[in-house]
Structure 1
Amino acid sequence: MKARLVRYADLIPCRTAFIDTRTPGSTEKENFTIIGAGVSESADQHVHITERHGFNIGAARQPFGCVNSQHSHDTAEVFVVHSGHWRLPFGPNKEDGSIDIGPGDVASVPIHMFRGFEKLDEGTGFLFTVLGEDDPGKVTWAPAVFEAAAGHGLKLAKGGRLIDTSQGDYSLQDVELAETTADDAAAELKTPPLDKLRDCVVAADAMVANPNSPLAAEGVEEAAVITPTDTGDGFVAGPIAGWWPHRFNLRRLTLKTGAYIPEHARAEVEVIFVQSGTLEVSWDGGALTMGAGDTLSVPIGLPHAFRNTASVDAVAFVVRGGDAPAMPAFVDRAH
């Protein structure tokens, strides 16, 4: 289980993950690949957990004013704001409006449209991200991103590998460069109406506990955030269902001081990200305590329990594989 735990303090960043890494305004961003291959274009990207989960978990850490350039994904991209205030601008040149998000908010940006993200306030902020599928593919950059990167010595090979032409020791022989996204291709990646995109965001104070959750108990709340369809464990579709595939659910789990969720096993992979407070996770023969910013992957079928032993609420976001998770199987230790 320790090998399935990635503590915030142990995260290994990559500062050369993408083609815009030298573009002014983007030089200070840090990219993290926590679970799965991710979409990094750099061989320097460290992957903490390589096991296939059916989705990818990553993160971004950026200071005030730092920009992640306009790009499009072929699979779902979900942002969970751990800290800081952020703006999501839309369109190849940010011309299609924007949405601002803050701590505890969640945004799922539809596939096949241009988006970026910018840190708005002072200090460093951290975004926890979920990408759909085991292979989320490579990003499609807006045309202007290629132009800006070329001016700082970076080119992109087909297949998504960065080539640094500023070092003097590169060779473009036998390397086929990725073509700049054509204007007509970029035009096909249309931005939905802003009102429709606002339905893809759930603010922290709008997340509502589901009394039908099998985990619900005194001091325990589980709120739906992303539910593509009605599930076997008592959740109805929404508040984010999406007109594009997710193939995972996202929930917010809150435990008051002393609250306990008995041992139970899941038929789906489960990834826990602690938003605030501390959360004890125990199983037969072991336990560990997670703190804010920590990520844990719980194996399918492992009976495990949760407890909040601290004096403040424990708030965690939970990613469960599949569109419709089943009821958990609670363990009866009396027999």
Structure 2
Amino acid sequence: MQARVVRYGDLVPCRNAFIDTRSPGSEAKENFTIIGPGVSENPEQHVHINEPHGFNIGAARQPPHCVNSQHSHLTAEVFVVQSGTWTFNFGEHGDDCRIGAGPGTLASIPTNLFRGFSNVGDDVGFLWVALGGDDPGRVLWAPYVFDMARDYGLALLDNGRLIDTVKGEAIPEGARLMPPTSPAQVAALATPPEAALRRCIVTPDGFANQPEGPLTGPGVDERLAIAPSAQINWPHGFTLSRAVFAAGAGADQDAATAPEVLFVHEGTLDMIWADGQISLAAGDTFTVPQGVARRYASSNGATVFIVRGA
């Protein structure tokens, strides 16, 4: 079971995962691939758990005033704010719309839409991220990102591999560079109205308005945020919920028949099964083995986000 836990303190960062990692304001960000390959452009990115789940789990950690540049995804991208004060920035240059988010907020950003995110607070911030599919594909960068990358010695091949000329890496013979994003591609990624984007975000208080999840019972309140009956009801390839455990509360679960991943946002959670027990703390990620009946319990209370395969 220990091999199925990725502790927050054991996360291995990649500080040059993307083409924008030397651009001023973006150079201090850290990227993590927790489950699955993610969308990193650096072949040396460390993957903690390779087992296919039907979705990927990753994370980003950024110091104050650090920016993740504007890009678009082909599959679902869902953020859980673990810490920090953030804005999600929409449009080619990030100025079409900005929406703030603090700890405990969930945001599902639609596909084929330029988005970026900035830590606008005074402390280091951490975002836990779920991506759709075993292979979430590559990101499409806003045109300005290619210009800045070239100025700082980074190039992106058309197969998605990052080349760092400052470190002495050369573009392989016969390789082709990724062409900068064209005006036609930009035009196809129009930003929806702000009201539509706000429906993609569930604040901590907003979970009370969501439908109940399977763990709900005495002392446990699970609410579905991404599901056919929830506020965010379009297909993602997974569901995502938040479960709040009161101190001393617990819930039994039959053996899982689909992938299930837990992320502890606050407090501590124990998973107990016939042959043992494992304890999870804030920031830890755990992938539940299928075929194991279990009980979740918290002695001091916990808030946990749960991703289940569709």
Cross-structure match for 2:252: 262
Q: How far off its partner does 1:210 sit?
A: 6.6
Aligned residues: 310
Overall identity of the aligned pairs, in %: 50
Corresponding letter in the other structure for 1:18: F
Report the CA distance shift for 1:171/1:135 in structure 2 as closer, same or farther (over 3 A).
closer
Matches within 5 A, 1:15-164: 15-164=15-164
Deviation track 1:222-250 (CA, whole Å, cap 9, x = no partner) reads: 011111x2xxxxxxx111113xx301000
Q: Distance in 1 between matches of 2:247 and 2:121?
A: 31
Residue 166 of structure 2 aligns to a residue whose secondary structure is coil
Deviation track 1:3-23 (CA, whole Å, cap 9, x = no partner) reads: 110000000000010000000
Where structure 2 has 5 or more consecutive residues not aligned to the other structure, the ranges are: none
Residue 166 of structure 1 aligns to a residue whose secondary structure is helix
Residue 184 of structure 1 aligns to a residue whose secondary structure is helix
Cross-structure match for 1:314: 302
Cross-structure match for 1:301: 291
For the pair 1:271 / 2:255, whether they are aligned, the reply is no
For the pair 1:239 / 2:231, whether they are aligned, the reply is yes
Give me the CA root mean square deviation.
1.3
Residue 167 of structure 2 aligns to a residue whose secondary structure is coil
Q: Distance in 1 between matches of 2:184 and 2:75?
A: 21
Where structure 1 has 5 or more consecutive residues not aligned to the other structure, the ranges are: 230-236, 323-335
Report the CA distance shift for 1:210/1:153 in structure 2 as closer, same or farther (over 3 A).
closer
Deviation track 1:164-212 (CA, whole Å, cap 9, x = no partner) reads: 1223452442211110011111111111111101100000111127785
Residue 208 of structure 2 aligns to a residue whose secondary structure is coil
Residue 254 of structure 2 aligns to a residue whose secondary structure is strand
Alignment TM-score, normalising by the size of structure 1: 0.90
Q: Distance in 1 between matches of 2:70 and 2:226?
A: 24
Instruction: Check conservation: 1:36, 1:49, Cα contact below 8 A.
Output: yes
Cross-structure match for 2:216: 216
